[in-house]
A and B are shown apart, each in its own frame.
Chain A
């Protein structure tokens, strides 16, 4: 069923009793052309674009929990393409362009809101760094605007401008950045893929990868063996665990990142604002809750829950930037497990096994990448060729010395 104003009107006349579920719940078939492991944002968008753009519809997405139970429903919903490096910017810009047309494309209200992303700076050196980043963005044709203190003051008068240690000197604004309703992204892609024949198999855990003569023949799951011609991994924090089933050893370490939502407040924060003196980012959802987060917990963790010391640190950063935040109450906090890569950039590539494809290493920047990640991964799976905007995101870049380190922090996953 296509969603439209007319469909809402028509369903209302029948008391909203005739809505159909947005996707089926099929039992797995014995064999698929492509199996995607991981029913998160990236796995679902991969399935969607495989079916829609590349005509491969005999596809299964296998998810051990329910779709949207992982990081696609656990992030702070920010979209942006304010990357500097040549290997990153065109990829994230493709993603932003896909976000801009996404709702019409998959006929689902994902509440894409281009409210602007503002990165604050607090020193002359940081201003130079952001000016450089903004220039890098503009050279790639992406919008970026360097705001001075007065311009930031007009946008967000409640910030702590005269902080004794970290005064706000200005900010780098990307107006096309913003937020998206994260759950709706998973649901929209799931529905769009399902409509085109993709089987979304929930509560089905992959327990093994079967190989014969050096190629993958299928996966062992809690619902039995399922065969495939091509296997694609999009398992985020569990990438290493799944990869090990095919003897892959990967440049990934799993960490937990927390996020927080306050009680609903009247509209106050119009943009996404990031704190340059810490690593704090905040926006306000359409429901009124302040959505914010900061650093990962720094130690390796597979638990979807975080440490109180990091909660305290996040709150301190928030209050340092927005003193009024101290009066808001936090309603919910949650953790997601991240596939932190060794250079802070993702991997979309083939592997040493001919029909095994890998999508991982999103650190905690995966949400904004959901459309482009799915598009480029589907391109790779369908054509056995890398999409040109993801050509730097190779698995062998570490051994070849072509790391894609946006922040220049080196091979330490907990710093990216």
Chain B
């Protein structure tokens, strides 16, 4: 049930240590059009299945992480540091 999250810095930790921001979308360019910004702020793909979210390890290293999970089975596929993460799938989608 996504109860344990393996932080790349702190190891496997209970989920209560994290606070969850939501969909891991890439912030648009400041000069991007209103449509792009409104989609970034308000529209969500909300798929049933694999999903990437920003989690903050609030009671640990205080790093922002990208957690990739299945939001139906609650299986966790991977956790990477948001700062060092290569472009993730949903980030790439948001940038389209």
Instruction: Name A residues whose Cβ lies closer than 8 Å to a Cβ of B.
Output: 238, 240-241, 249-254, 298-303, 305-309, 342, 398-399, 411-414
Contact = CB atoms under 8 A, between A and B. Distances in A.
A251 B43 contact: yes
B22 A412 contact: yes
Interface of B: 1-3, 14-16, 19-23, 34-35, 38-39, 41-48, 51, 53, 69, 71-74
B42 A414 contact: no
Contacts of A300: 22-23, 46, 51, 53, 71
Q: Which secondary structure characterizes the binding site on chain B?
A: mixed
B22 A303 contact: no
B48 A251 contact: no
Contacts of A398: 38, 41-42
A342 B22 CA distance: 11
A302 B72 contact: yes
Contact of A250 (B3, B46, B69): B46
Nearest to A403: B42
A309 B17 CA distance: 10
A412 B51 CA distance: 16
Contact of B71 (A302, A411, A412, A414): A302
Contacts of A298: 19-20
B3 A399 contact: no
Which residue, of A299, A398, A413, has the highest number of chain B Cβ atoms within 10 A?
A299
> Chain A contact residues: over half helix, strand or loop, or mixed?
mixed
A299 B42 contact: no
A307 B15 contact: yes
Interface centre among A241, A254, A300 (most CB of B within 10 A): A300
A414 B22 contact: yes
A301 B76 CA distance: 12
Contacts of B44: 240, 250-253, 342, 413
B22 A413 contact: yes
A317 B34 CA distance: 42
Contacts of B69: 299
A299 B76 CA distance: 12
Contacts of B45: 240, 249
Contacts of A253: 22-23, 44, 46
A254 B39 CA distance: 17
A308 B20 contact: no
A399 B16 contact: no
A412 B16 CA distance: 19
Contacts of A309: 3, 14-16
A309 B71 CA distance: 16
A411 B46 CA distance: 15
A274 B64 CA distance: 33
Given A299-B71, A303-B71, A251 B23 contact: no
A279 to B, nearest CB: 15
A152 B39 CA distance: 46
Given A240-B45, A253-B46, A300-B71, 14 more contacts: A240-B48, A250-B43, A251-B43, A253-B22, A301-B71, A302-B72, A307-B3, A309-B3, A309-B14, A398-B38, A399-B35, A411-B41, A413-B22, A414-B22
For the complex of A and B, list the 8 residue pairs with the smallest distance between their C-beta atoms, beginning with the closest. A240-B46, A398-B42, A251-B42, A302-B48, A298-B20, A302-B72, A399-B38, A253-B44
Contacts of B39: 249
